[in-house]
């Protein structure tokens, strides 16, 4: 195997994460404009949010298992091409139902790309720096959302929300040559085991990992439920609170910008205290901040500052989830482990916006709404902490560090 340099793979996977982040969260940016076009009720908009996330959950689980058999690079190329073409097709949707079906199909590629870029980054990095580098790579996801939200605020007025889909689908096509020529394949599962359907899925729980995996899944489900509620509904809630539409769109940008800063902070400490402990600790103040967010503030500037700090704790912790999975699972089942972990999280990301649509339509008491939203954050902090204790009892290391150090590109 001719290994590509770590920095090059990191950069390419970072770019894929950026376009994935933009396309995944695109509906949240154009939500108010779509509502105005089709006169949608909040629950109907929630279904549009959920459609792409359902596809992403299924895509992540399926693509991870395929990648552990056929290779990460080939699977990544297919996923990027899929979500690119189908995102462009969303611009042609004539009804909310057509748009939901196209978002569902595009989500298969969006979700499928994640376990592959996580596995490729992890397997081109030294085991000692793996958690920090995977988190650093995945910062591309919210950065893509930040830049995409800023572009949307400029484009949606003069050109309409359909133009945003065209942009979101065209950008990933530019990355296909970079992935093809710039990324080398990493080790995959034993070819003698590849024919055994479900072998990788079952192997996630082998070698004493069952309890740690269960706690990780609960934590990921809870944190992504909250994160996607905040990401998808922050612009609409701000708009319904009287903030002008363009500034309301920037609320999601500020939230994701806070997540980037929080994740960068975690990369500086994650190798010192451990990924699981760092994430669990970050979620404790996040719980309090979510509860306070619903109380509002006297000025728009102070409200945006509170949104930023909340994003730093909640989204910052969420962005480190792939690093937890990459650290927990060995190379033979890493893509499957990451794919299923993120797939379980995507289920939470579906529940969050959908239930959010029901709650937003039923109440205007934002204080009570955000107090309820703080509960999943507390559950996530507890579950991630319990996952750390479960791994400590089985004695670590989570993977064969010595063996992987010998395989890592120099």
Q: Compute the average pLDDT of residues 237-253.
A: 71
Q: Compute the average pLDDT of residues 105-116.
A: 92
**Is 340 in a helix, a strand, or coil?**
helix
Q: Compute the average pLDDT of residues 52-60.
A: 88
pLDDT band at 398 (very low <50, low <70, confident <90, very high): very low
Instruction: Give the whole-angstrom CA distance, residue 275 versus residue 135.
Output: 10
Is the Cα dihedral 389, 393, 394, 400 positive or negative?
A: positive
Instruction: Give the whole-angstrom CA distance, residue 93 versus residue 95.
Output: 6
The fraction of the chain above a pLDDT of 70, given in percent, is 87
pLDDT band at 406 (very low <50, low <70, confident <90, very high): very low
* Cβ contact 387:215 at 8 Å: yes
Q: Compute the average pLDDT of residues 227-241.
A: 75
pLDDT band at 3 (very low <50, low <70, confident <90, very high): low
* Cβ contact 156:164 at 8 Å: yes
Instruction: Give the whole-angstrom CA distance, residue 262 versus residue 312.
Output: 4
Q: Compute the average pLDDT of residues 387-401.
A: 64
pLDDT band at 176 (very low <50, low <70, confident <90, very high): very high
Lowest average pLDDT, out of 87-91, 206-210, 245-249, 381-385, goes to: 245-249
**Is 138 in a helix, a strand, or coil?**
helix
DSSP, residue by residue, 275-339: HHHHHHHHHHHHHHHHHHHTT--SSHHHHHHHHHHHHHHHHHHHTTHHHHHHHHS-GGGHHHHHH
DSSP, residue by residue, 157-225: HHH-HHHHHHHHHHHHHTTHHHHHHH------S-TTTTTSTTHHHHHTTTTTTHHHHHHHHHHHHHHHH
Query: Looking at residue 128, what DSSP letter applies?
Result: G
pLDDT band at 358 (very low <50, low <70, confident <90, very high): confident
Q: How many helices (H) and strands (E) does the chain have?
A: 18, 0
* Cβ contact 235:28 at 8 Å: yes
Lowest average pLDDT, out of 61-65, 203-207, 402-406, goes to: 402-406
DSSP, residue by residue, 76-127: HHHHHHHHHHHHHHHTT--SHHHHHHHHHHHHHHHHHHHHHHHHHHHHTS-G
Cβ neighbours for 381, distance < 8 A, ≥ 6 positions apart? 219, 280, 283, 284, 286, 287
Between these two residues, 135 and 204, which has the higher pLDDT value? 135
Is the model's pLDDT at 2 over the cut of 60? no
pLDDT band at 205 (very low <50, low <70, confident <90, very high): confident
Cβ neighbours of 265 (radius 10 Å)? 15
Question: Would you state the pLDDT for residue 195?
Answer: 45
- Tell me the CA end-to-end span of the chain in Å, nearest whole number: 12
Instruction: Give the whole-angstrom CA distance, residue 366 versus residue 154.
Output: 28
Q: Compute the average pLDDT of residues 212-217.
A: 93
Give tens-digit pLDDT for 285-322.
Answer: 999 999 887 776 657 777 788 889 999 999 999 998 88
Is the model's pLDDT at 75 over the cut of 60? yes
Domain segments of the chain as ranges? 6-183+198-407
pLDDT band at 368 (very low <50, low <70, confident <90, very high): confident
Rg, Å, the chain Cα set: 20
Question: Would you state the pLDDT for residue 297?
Answer: 60
Which architecture characterizes domain 6-183+198-407 according to CATH?
Up-down Bundle (1.20)
Is the model's pLDDT at 92 over the cut of 60? yes
Give tens-digit pLDDT for 137-163.
Answer: 999 988 887 788 888 888 888 898 999
Is the model's pLDDT at 114 over the cut of 70? yes
Is the model's pLDDT at 408 over the cut of 80? no
Q: Compute the average pLDDT of residues 317-343.
A: 87
Instruction: Give the whole-angstrom CA distance, residue 255 versus residue 260.
Output: 9
Question: Would you state the pLDDT for residue 364?
Answer: 63
The fraction of the chain above a pLDDT of 90, given in percent, is 33
Question: Would you state the pLDDT for residue 200?
Answer: 64
Q: Compute the average pLDDT of residues 185-194.
A: 56
Return mean pLDDT, the chain.
83
Cβ neighbours for 6, distance < 8 A, ≥ 6 positions apart? 124, 125, 133, 409
Is the model's pLDDT at 409 over the cut of 50? no
């Amino acid at each position: 195997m001719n290994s590509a340099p770590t920095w090059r793979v990191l950069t390419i996977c970072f770019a894929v994460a950026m376009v994935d982040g933009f396309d995944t969260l695109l509906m949240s940016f154009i939500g108010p404009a779509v509502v105005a076009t089709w006169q949608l009720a909040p629950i109907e908009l929630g279904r549009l949010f959920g459609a792409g996330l359902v596809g992403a959950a299924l895509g992540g689980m399926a693509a991870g298992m395929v990648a552990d058999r056929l290779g990460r690079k080939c699977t990544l190329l297919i996923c990027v091409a899929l979500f690119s073409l189908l995102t462009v097709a969303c611009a042609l949707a004539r009804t909310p139902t057509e748009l939901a079906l196209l978002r569902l199909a595009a989500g298969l590629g969006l979700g499928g790309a994640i376990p592959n870029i996580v596995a490729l980054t992890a397997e081109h990095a030294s085991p000692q720096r793996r958690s920090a580098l995977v988190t650093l790579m995945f910062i591309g996801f919210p950065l893509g959302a930040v830049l995409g939200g800023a572009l949307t605020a400029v484009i949606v007025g003069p050109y309409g929300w359909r133009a945003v889909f065209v942009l979101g689908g065209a950008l990933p096509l530019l990355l296909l040559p970079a992935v093809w020529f710039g990324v080398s394949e990493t080790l995959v599962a034993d070819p003698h085991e590849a024919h055994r359907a479900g072998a990788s899925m079952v192997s996630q729980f082998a070698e004493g990992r069952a309890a740690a995996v269960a706690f990780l899944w609960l934590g990921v489900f809870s944190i992504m439920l909250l994160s996607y509620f905040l990401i998808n509904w922050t612009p609409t809630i701000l708009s319904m609170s009287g903030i002008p539409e363009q500034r309301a769109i920037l609320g999601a940008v500020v939230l994701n910008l806070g997540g980037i800063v929080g994740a960068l902070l975690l990369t500086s400490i994650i190798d010192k205290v451990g990924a699981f402990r760092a994430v669990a600790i970050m979620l404790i103040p996040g719980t309090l901040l979510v509860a306070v967010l619903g109380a509002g503030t006297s000025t728009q500037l102070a409200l945006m500052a509170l949104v930023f700090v909340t994003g730093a704790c909640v989204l910052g912790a969420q962005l480190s989830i792939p690093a937890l999975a990459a650290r927990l699972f060995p190379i033979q089942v890493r893509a499957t482990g990451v794919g299923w972990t993120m797939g379980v999280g995507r289920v939470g990301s579906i529940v969050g916006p959908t239930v959010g649509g029901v709650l937003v339509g039923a109440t205007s008491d934002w204080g009570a709404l955000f107090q309820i939203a703080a509960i999943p954050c507390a559950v996530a902090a507890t579950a991630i902490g319990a996952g750390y204790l479960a791994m400590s009892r089985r004695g670590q290391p989570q993977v064969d560090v010595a063996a992987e150090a010998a395989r890592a590109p120099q």
